[in-house]
Amino acid sequence: MFRTSLFASAALAFLAATPAMAQTAPSPADQKSDSLTQQGAQAVAEFLHGKRTAEEVFSPGFLAAVPKAQIQALAAKLVEQFGPFDAVASVEEKNPNQGIVTLRYAKATIAGPITIDNGGKVTGLLLNDVKPLGDSVAKVQADLEALPGEVSALSTSLDGKASPLLKIAVNQPLAIGSTFKLYVLSALAHSIERGEHRWDEVVNLSEKSLPSGQMQEWPAGAPVTLHTLASMMISISDNTATDQLIRVLGRKAIGDELRKSGHSTPDKTLPFLTTHELFALKGNPALGAQYAAADEAGQEAILKKLDVQIKTDPASIPLPQYTEPHAIDTLEWFASANDIAGIMRRIAALKDPTARQILAISPSMSASDRARFAYVGYKGGSEPGVLNLSWLMQTKSGEWRVLTISWNDQSSPVDQGKLEMLAVRLLKLSE
């Protein structure tokens, strides 16, 4: 909840990589004279054409990690975005068991590493390099605008000298999930720039939230640096790390940073909630409704009582159980596409590159796309009915750019794979 594993786990790819992808190449004595890589690529093509079953093509270990139904769903998404599958365009062999396969669809070629065992079964397949054919910004915009619910999107230079590549409802505030952590990162970096804190400053871990993340399992009081907290918050969207940073900086400081970024509707997000507080409000519908209806003073009073409960009796706080969109228009962190561009602009302008280095730990972009830029940083966020994808990029000529897309649907969970594919199409069209 409140995060997205986009691209970092190759969610855009046809299939997620399995542990076998990292297997050691077989010794020459084990290699066969015929190219297993060629055979495996052709077997994948026959599967996509419906001529072979998943069990005939993929190894048991692969199917254990990526069930047959998931393979079929991902294959269908590719057809939905890029038209019918045609054929294998090429296979670049690394050795008889490993290589790079390129598949040709009607509207794109999609490439990535493939690994074959000595029995001819596919043990790893990661299609993460999409090259749309005959695509255009207008086509992507039409597909974004056709999504159910609401979309706010912007692809533009941050210097304002050129017209945006794409803009959709750029002033519409929408729920953004864990992308709110950009405001925490920026507040921390600016606090360090003012000399109030240091990246190597050590604090004792006193907060405990819920996953996503790992630090909720760390011992209470564990000494951690602010750099470690920020890195965990951004790279794996760790909620406990986030709440710890909010406690260190103070709710007011992050609210001030939100305003300094030019946020158009700060009252929708302030007081600035910790992840644990939002979990608690979502898990108690009556309290959540009371909080949403209160003015800022009333909300602060509710949070004061809730904070005491979190500290003294966390087991008494009901946890969210929903799998459908729940109060995403009232209980969340909100920003428009222009608002996210504003906070990215402040991060890009920092003299100290540390915050940008942290933002680049998980860039959520294929290696071939990253190679087109001098810098790529990423943060995304999600919960049922909410998805945001946001990149900060610097071109090799030095221009800072932002791409951000938010999609909210109060009636049903959004299709993460569909939005990810649209984002990649747009990234391909960005300079």
Summarize pLDDT for 61-94 with one digit per residue, the tens.
999 999 999 999 989 988 988 899 999 999 999 9
Q: Is the dihedral of CA 405, 406, 411, 412 positive or negative?
A: positive
Residue ranges in the chain whose pLDDT is less than 70: 1-34, 431
DSSP strand pairing (85-95 vs 98-105): antiparallel
* AA identity, residue 75: A
Considering only CA atoms, which of 404, 362, 359, 368 is closest in space to residue 126? 368
User: How far is it, in rounded angstroms, from Cα 185 to Cα 163?
Assistant: 28
Q: For residue 367, what pLDDT is reported? A: 85
Q: What is the pLDDT of residues 131-186, one digit of tens each?
A: 889 899 999 999 999 999 999 999 999 998 889 999 999 999 999 999 999 999 99
Half-sphere exposure of 392 (CA within 13 A, CB side): 25
Q: Where are the beta strands (DSSP E) in 39-191?
A: 85-95, 98-105, 108-116, 122-125, 129-132, 150-157, 166-168, 174-175
CB 122 within 8 A of CB 58: yes
CB atoms within 10 A of CB 415: 16
Q: For residue 34, what pLDDT is reported? A: 54
Considering only CA atoms, which of 423, 386, 376 is closest in space to residue 406? 386
Between the alpha carbon of residue 388 and those of residues 370, 419, 422, the distances in Å are 20, 9, 12
CB 256 within 8 A of CB 262: no
* AA identity, residue 252: K
Considering only CA atoms, which of 155, 170, 103 is closest in space to residue 130? 103
DSSP conformation class of 216: G
Between the alpha carbon of residue 65 and those of residues 21, 60, 207, 364, the distances in Å are 12, 9, 33, 21
pTM of the model: 0.84
Considering only CA atoms, which of 155, 194, 211, 222 is closest in space to residue 393? 155
Domain ranges of the chain: 19-125, 136-431
DSSP strand pairing (334-335 vs 174-175): antiparallel
Q: Which residues pair with 400 in a beta bridge?
A: 394
Overall residue count recorded for the chain in this entry: 431
User: How far is it, in rounded angstroms, from Cα 184 to Cα 291?
Assistant: 22
CA angle 271, 274, 277 (to 5 degrees): 90
Q: For the domain with range 136-431, which CATH number is right: 3.40.710.10, 3.30.365.10, 3.90.1200.10, 3.40.50.1220?
A: 3.40.710.10
Q: Which residues pair with 116 in a beta bridge?
A: 122
Q: Tell whether omega for the bond before 271 is within 30 degrees of 0, i.e. cis.
A: yes
**Domain 19-125 has what CATH class?**
alpha beta
Both tokens assigned to 292? 């949403």
CB 406 within 8 A of CB 337: yes
Within 8 A by CB and 6+ apart from 431, the residues are: 395, 401
Q: For residue 130, what pLDDT is reported? A: 87
- Token pair 């297997």 in the structure block, residue: 23
Q: Where are the beta strands (DSSP E) in 263-354?
A: 334-335
CB 168 within 8 A of CB 337: yes
Q: For residue 431, what pLDDT is reported? A: 59
CB 135 within 8 A of CB 107: yes
User: How far is it, in rounded angstroms, from Cα 166 to Cα 405?
Assistant: 10
User: How far is it, in rounded angstroms, from Cα 173 to Cα 178?
Assistant: 15
